[in-house]
Copies of this chain bind each other. A is one copy, B any other.
Amino acid sequence: METRTVREQLLDYAQTLIMLRGYNGFSYRDLAELVGVKTSSIHYYFPTKEDLVLEAVNVYSSESLAEMYAIDSSQSADLRLDRYARLFGKILGDGDQICLCGMLAADIASLPEHVRQAVQSFFKSNETWLGKLLAEGKKNGTLMVSGGPEAAGRVLYASLQGAVVASRLFGTRTRIEEVTKAYKVH
């Protein structure tokens, strides 16, 4: 028996559809069929598709960032990088999904300004967190980092976003690990 509310299910399946096909690649009909309601019921909860995607990105963002911040900060930097990369790898799902915010960044020209701001905010949080991690790993000698920590965080995050896209394109799961390996001291 399904215990989640219809609203919760709508947001959950909307996230999946966006991660699969992007903002312009799914319809209220697709979503309605997945949840087992009519399209007019979606409009009851989310008057417009832009309302739906904004709420989806906010939920995705808060849940993903909570998982990131929950990574035990008493561990060494290289172990925390592995844990972060494992979170990132989970995004792939059955191998056919990419990061919701990475997808919306690709679709950004079709989206309103407040969605852009939400996606920017998610990127910045990840980049900053990674930057601090890399700074620590550099100090400890557990990670190889070139340049300032802020720029290094942005470069690493871009690599991971690119890696998850390429992973899906080629049907592999190894590319995220390749990124983290490049920072390991051996």
Contact = CB atoms under 8 A, between A and B. Distances in A.
A116 B106 CA distance: 17
Interface residues of A, number: 45
A165 to B, nearest CB: 5
Interface of A: 20-22, 24-25, 96, 98, 102-103, 105-110, 116, 119-120, 123, 144, 146-147, 151-152, 154-155, 157-163, 165-166, 168-170, 175, 178-179, 181-184
27 contacts: A20-B109, A21-B24, A21-B109, A22-B22, A22-B24, A22-B110, A24-B25, A98-B106, A116-B169, A146-B183, A146-B184, A147-B181, A151-B178, A151-B181, A151-B182, A152-B182, A154-B178, A155-B178, A155-B182, A158-B159, A158-B162, A158-B165, A158-B175, A159-B159, A159-B162, A161-B161, A162-B162
